Structure 1
Amino acid sequence: MRTLNLGILAHVDAGKTSLTERLLHTAGVIDEIGSVDDGSTQTDSLTLERQRGITIKSAVVSFVVDGVTVNLIDTPGHPDFIAEVERVLNVLDGAVLVISAVEGVQAQTRVLMRTLRRLRIPTLIFVNKIDRRGAHDERVLRAVSERLSPAIVPMGAAHGLGARDAGFTPYGEADSAFTAGLAEVLADHDDALMAAYLDDATPLPYRRLRDGLAAQTGRALVHPVYFGSAITGAGVDALITGVTKLLPASERDTEGPVSGTVFKIERGTAGEKIAYVRMVSGTVRTRDKLLFGRDGADSVGGAVSVCGEGKVTAISVFDQGAVVSRGSVEAGRIGLLRGLGDIRIGDTIGAAMAAVDAADRAGASSAQVPSGQWHFAPPTLETVVVPRSPADKGALHEALAQLVEQDPLINLRQDAIRQEISVSLYGEVQKEVIQATLANDFGVDVTFRETTTICVERPAGPGEAVEIMGKDPNPFLATIGLRVEPAPHGSGVEFRREIELGSLPLAFLKAIEETVKQTLLQGIHGWQVIDCAVTLTRSGYAPRQSHAHAVFDKSMSSTGGDFRNLTPLVLMAALKQAGTVVYEPMHRFRLELPADVYGSALPVLAKLRAVPRTPSTHGSSYLLEGEIPAAQVHELEQRLPTLTRGEGVLESAFDHYEQVTGPLPSRPRTDHDPLNRKEYLLRVVRRVAG
């Protein structure tokens, strides 16, 4: 049977979870459709989700329709939980992007569609809520074409908009306007079709148009658009036909080598780790031993193989809306694997990691497995988490460590000097959810310090430093020379070598590379250093030596610790010579407000350092677009109701980093501070050389 991993994505409140319920009901999985407002939906199973009426965690449900096994993944729509969407994108065969017929294209809609198109994930568009007052079809279609993609194909006509009996009539072969428009869109990506389209004497067969639509939809070149209502079911049958006929479901190789991707981690009732794995090929059985790991790519880039091994103790799969225990999970399915205690989100299991392990055994410097590069912007806010009871410090750390397993972008940051723990955030709602989760699931009551903005640093120019073994003030049995240089924006951190291959043992080389990336998490001003190239220009070590009785003496021989301890001193000396520039995150915003308050809004925007572009008029409203520092977005959201009499509508999303002007913000360090050589050596080796 063919399988399809299908993601349901949307801006918050567009009706994504309601559509999931309707699809399950239509497929015969559930007898009664749940309500988001009543907290009775299948996929919003968390207590917090039911209380708040929003999706917080991605959820999987499986059903069979028209001979296709659909693994449907419902994702959060609120931008504070974009990390959940991030992880799901890596396992999708196709997606349905849900848009409200009332609100139309919103900020998160554009962020999602831009990413889906960049990753070439085949996507259908479902315009929901045609039964609601204020629903529009032509206006939404124009917005989709202008703001999401011009390559859209309306698959039918909506009628009775705004009424309970609103419906959707699919187009067919007899609709000449539809076939002409379809041919025109498809011809843009198919030269043969273009030639046939221009030949008026040869009308294009409808079957050829349908086959072309399926092919181009599967290549993410065009996007069919459906209208309907998840509440009434209007248009859902047509959407299901589109899912099964236009998205690329396929047969999977169940006999091939085991390969899969971990996209979600949960904890069971007994505290055991449960890994959600999308199986790409092969079959995993209970009691199988699996290799797993990743390329080490994180927010600073890089490719350092990380491998683990575990024995699968139990397997569950999704089947017809339920989770059932099975003895195996095969290609094309999503399995819940227990027993892999060290596995993490983003890990690859099976054959790919066997290649990594073989490469490591052969002495390769690194092996490549699927990349963990982020598709969306990283969090731009952070806050310190403080337990109300000092006695809960240990429990807080353990609880946050488990939350980081489920969401690595929380990015736990521990300051041992100040005894503080900070977390990264996308927004205030996420902070509230973390607070409630800590209280409800772990019994830890916490408060938060003021939310601050996360900046980044980039090298201002080149810088070099070297420390030579045996020469003061170097107390380590290692020689390291490093050069730091700026790299193109968005390139992360690249580690290069100018030393001869084989001149330094692989273990020492890995120690330097890993420590470089760890050290650059805190630059001159305490922010993560991005977009730079670090080159190893010089190296040296003391070979393994022993006393006469063959007892190894580490005081005479270099160890990995020598290289790990020396690297931060050399790297930060080179970075200090290069200098760094601090950048702050900027959001693009779209603000719709009454025309009569436009004049009073401009000074407020200026005070918040927003830079609006020339406004446009829409009836009695003004539309402002521009840029605003991420640090000021929350204040603008709070002031907007008073400023616009409750009529203003604000959309914002991260856009880029911009150089800070004026006093440079800094962040306290949480490491041994290699910028202060004396203090660093006192903490690392308990003495100061020279």
Structure 2
Amino acid sequence: MHLLNLGILAHVDAGKTSLTERLLHSVGVTDRLGSVDSGDTRTDTLALERQRGITIKSAVVSFPVDDVTVNLIYTPGHPDFIAEVERVLGVLDGAVLVVSAVEGVQAQSRVLLRTLRRLRIPTLLFVNKIDRRGAREDDVLRAVARRLTPAVVPMGRTRHLGTPRARFVPGLAPTAAEVLADHDDDLLTAYVEDRLHPARVRAALADQTRRALVHPVYFGSAITGAGVDALIGGIRDLLPAADGDPDAPVSATVFKVDRGEAGEKVAYARVFSGTLRIRDRLPYGEPRTEGRITALGVFDHGTDVRADAVPAGRIARLWGLAGIRIGDTLGVPRPAPGHVFAPPTLESVVVAAPGTDRGALHLALARLAEQDPLIGLRHDEARGQTSVSLYGEVQKEVVQATLADEFGLDVAFRETTPLCVERPTGTGAAVEYNKKDGNPFLATVGLRVDPAPAGTGIVLRREVELGSMPYAFFKAIEDTVREGLGQGPHGWQVTDCTVTLTHCGYSPRQSHAHQGFDKSMSSTGADFRGLTPLVLMTALRRAGTLVHEPLHRFTAEAPADTLGALLPVLAALHAVPRTTRTRGAVCVLEGEVPAARVHALEQRLPGLTRGEGELDSAFERYAPVRSGPVPERPRTDHNPLDRKEYLLNLTRRVGG
């Protein structure tokens, strides 16, 4: 059986949901088209999705195309839910990126295709809404080539564009051979010598599409069905089949976790090799835990059915693994892909309404974080507060509504604030020696902190011999360093630095005569976990850190005669326009704006531009805080910045 795990991605409102419904209808899975407006689509199954008309969670639906079984993984388009897209990318064989023929290439389109190309995921483009007034063909193709990638191959032309009679006429563009020849010397030679056969071009197109070198472009309308049959043919003929040996050791990756009707965990996993079977006992997660699969399901012909076994290449639903989390590998571990999109750049404190059970709220938030690991929860026991990390205001509203609808919890949120980071500005070192200078821990730890280039993250190194003490003590130091960097001198996560272990030492296992092991005489992992934060914070303070705030890249389009009203507001919001250009009566501004000000800009823009302004934004980089006092974040640990307070909190004893 020929399998294909296909992702459908798009900027919000490009018509992704309508296209999915049209695909299911065209291949005979559904008898009637579902509609976003009527709230009866197959993929938006949550009540909240149907109420708001947006996709929040990824969904899977299967359909046949001749001898190919397609598992279509449907993803949200709104940038606030980009985490759902990130988890899906690692399990795809191919993708369809939907672009609007009216709105053209938008911010999320650029982010998505840039990521698909970096991950080398074969991708077709479908330009939707050709039946809508204002639809464009050549302009959109030029924008795709300029703003997304020049490696595009138009697969036909439109007729009656911008009218209900719009249709798509398949046929390779004359420029196809030129684009394909860029990646094939033999094809280039045949092209120059005018002996190129159409079959050779088609074969090169399939080969280069599967290698993610070029991207075929189809035009059509999900509403009328124009061009959809041609797209289905491209999915069948141009995208690669899922591979994997069903007889090899099992390796599968979890990309989604739901809860069943009884509250049990249900994991969605792509099987890369081997065969999953009911009653299999498999290791998963980190640290590795063994669990037994109690039930399995697969997707087939528009529904999900129970199965006794799921071979390599398929998407499985699994029951029985109580500790499973998104990103876990079942069986043979696979390399973690790391984050492909920017992490959340905002956070907000959850405020429980009077009478709300705080224990139930904590459990509900933990349940949401379990289904979305990028909803980072931060508990402040001293203040009795929980904050969540977010991508934007829409996500905050959805979390609030979910807590109310699914858990019966009435909550509000405080003002959204930016999630800053700290970066070291210099080098700092510190060391504390075992049994010296008031060190109450039976451990020696020395650390040096050095700045690293932006985007490096955290790198740990050693300048001591690995055999100089038990490995468990090294592990305790390294784990505590990573945890400690979550709160720098100003309370923000410290990143882009190298931390080097320069000194280490321990008290060997000892005991009094004729007695057992005595912890008061011998080092334990707790000694290293207790001492490391003190040494790390001292080294960080000596290095110095600078707080950086998240900046978004923005593009604002507005009538040119409103520019005079718009520029002062941008300045007041600390936005910095970098380029300004005019396109007829429209002015296009591009620049950077602090993430914390994006929502305010979205709210102000319509009033400043007679409702004609449009704004796209996406995370760009972190930059030093430019105005006002340095933002501080309350600590949630034992405060190793204050030695006396830390030791009293941690050990109830002070050395010296």
TM-score by length of 1: 0.94
Is the partner of 2:466 in helix, strand or coil?
coil
Is the partner of 2:477 in helix, strand or coil?
helix
Amino acid at match of 1:508: F
User: Where does residue 520 of structure 1 map in the other structure?
Assistant: 485
User: Where does residue 683 of structure 1 map in the other structure?
Assistant: 649
User: Where does residue 117 of structure 2 map in the other structure?
Assistant: 117
User: Where does residue 447 of structure 1 map in the other structure?
Assistant: 412
Distance 2:444 2:355 in 1: 44
- Deviations along 1:322-365, one digit per CA (max 9) or x if unpaired, are 1111111111111111111112111111122xxxxxxxxxxxxx
Q: Contact 1:4 / 1:248 at 8 angstroms: preserved in 2?
A: yes
Q: Contact 2:345 / 2:595 at 8 angstroms: preserved in 1?
A: yes
User: Where does residue 65 of structure 2 map in the other structure?
Assistant: 65
Moved more, 48-57 or 246-255: 246-255
Is the partner of 2:523 in helix, strand or coil?
coil
CA apart distance, 1:389: 2.7
Distance 2:308 2:158 in 1: 47
Matching of residue 208 in structure 1 with residue 208 in structure 2: no
Q: Contact 2:6 / 2:96 at 8 angstroms: preserved in 1?
A: yes
Distance 1:600 1:165 in 2: 41
CA apart distance, 1:216: 0.9
Amino acid at match of 2:521: M
User: Where does residue 523 of structure 2 map in the other structure?
Assistant: 558
CA apart distance, 1:161: 1.6
Is the partner of 1:518 in helix, strand or coil?
helix
Amino acid at match of 1:473: G
Q: Contact 2:247 / 2:274 at 8 angstroms: preserved in 1?
A: yes
CA apart distance, 1:514: 0.8
Distance 1:677 1:251 in 2: 56
Distance 1:613 1:285 in 2: 57
User: Where does residue 132 of structure 1 map in the other structure?
Assistant: 132
Q: Contact 1:610 / 1:626 at 8 angstroms: preserved in 2?
A: yes
Q: Work out which of the residue numbers 181, 187, 191 in structure 2 matches 1:187.
A: 181
CA apart distance, 1:387: 0.9
Amino acid at match of 2:182: D
Q: Contact 1:512 / 1:563 at 8 angstroms: preserved in 2?
A: yes
Distance 1:251 1:67 in 2: 16
- Deviations along 1:258-307, one digit per CA (max 9) or x if unpaired, are 0011111111111111111100010011111111125xxxxxxxxxxx31
- Deviations along 1:113-164, one digit per CA (max 9) or x if unpaired, are 1111111111100001111121111111111111111111110111112222
CA apart distance, 1:406: 0.6
Q: Work out which of the residue numbers 421, 430, 435 in structure 1 matches 2:395.
A: 430
CA apart distance, 1:390: 4.9
Q: Unaligned regions of 5+ residues in structure 1, if any?
A: 173-177, 295-305, 353-368
Matching of residue 329 in structure 1 with residue 321 in structure 2: no
Moved more, 369-378 or 276-285: 369-378
Amino acid at match of 1:683: N
Is the partner of 1:81 in helix, strand or coil?
helix
Matching of residue 630 in structure 1 with residue 595 in structure 2: yes
Q: Contact 1:348 / 1:370 at 8 angstroms: preserved in 2?
A: no
CA apart distance, 1:252: 3.2
Q: Contact 1:346 / 1:372 at 8 angstroms: preserved in 2?
A: no
CA apart distance, 1:253: 1.3
Is the partner of 2:440 in helix, strand or coil?
coil
Q: How many residues align?
A: 655
Distance 1:107 1:278 in 2: 29
Is the partner of 1:410 in helix, strand or coil?
coil
Matching of residue 395 in structure 1 with residue 364 in structure 2: no
CA apart distance, 1:251: 4.4
Q: Contact 2:96 / 2:124 at 8 angstroms: preserved in 1?
A: yes
CA apart distance, 1:548: 3.0
Percent identity between the two aligned chains: 68
Matching of residue 338 in structure 1 with residue 319 in structure 2: yes
User: Where does residue 659 of structure 1 map in the other structure?
Assistant: 624
Flag as ranges the 4+ runs of structure 1 deviating above 6 A: none
Question: Which structure 2 residues correspond to residues 413-562 of structure 1 after superposition, within 5 A?
Answer: 413-562=378-527
Distance 1:638 1:239 in 2: 38
TM-score by length of 2: 0.98
Distance 1:5 1:212 in 2: 22
Is the partner of 1:408 in helix, strand or coil?
coil
CA apart distance, 1:479: 0.8
CA apart distance, 1:613: 2.4
Distance 1:97 1:592 in 2: 23
Distance 1:547 1:66 in 2: 78
User: Where does residue 584 of structure 1 map in the other structure?
Assistant: 549
Q: Contact 2:380 / 2:636 at 8 angstroms: preserved in 1?
A: yes
Moved more, 142-151 or 158-167: 158-167
Distance 1:469 1:496 in 2: 21
- Deviations along 1:469-488, one digit per CA (max 9) or x if unpaired, are 11122101111111111112
Q: Contact 2:356 / 2:409 at 8 angstroms: preserved in 1?
A: no
User: Where does residue 108 of structure 1 map in the other structure?
Assistant: 108
State the Cα RMSD in Å: 1.2
Amino acid at match of 1:492: G
Q: Unaligned regions of 5+ residues in structure 2, if any?
A: none
CA apart distance, 1:372: 4.4
Q: Contact 1:493 / 1:531 at 8 angstroms: preserved in 2?
A: yes
CA apart distance, 1:311: 0.8
Question: Which structure 2 residues correspond to residues 255-266 of structure 1 after superposition, within 5 A?
Answer: 255-266=247-258
Distance 2:619 2:435 in 1: 49
Distance 1:565 1:324 in 2: 51
Q: Work out which of the residue numbers 228, 244, 250 in structure 1 matches 2:236.
A: 244
Distance 2:546 2:413 in 1: 29
Distance 2:554 2:591 in 1: 5
Q: Contact 2:243 / 2:272 at 8 angstroms: preserved in 1?
A: no
User: Where does residue 281 of structure 2 map in the other structure?
Assistant: 289
CA apart distance, 1:630: 1.0
Q: Contact 1:2 / 1:252 at 8 angstroms: preserved in 2?
A: no
User: Where does residue 155 of structure 1 map in the other structure?
Assistant: 155
Q: Contact 1:2 / 1:251 at 8 angstroms: preserved in 2?
A: no
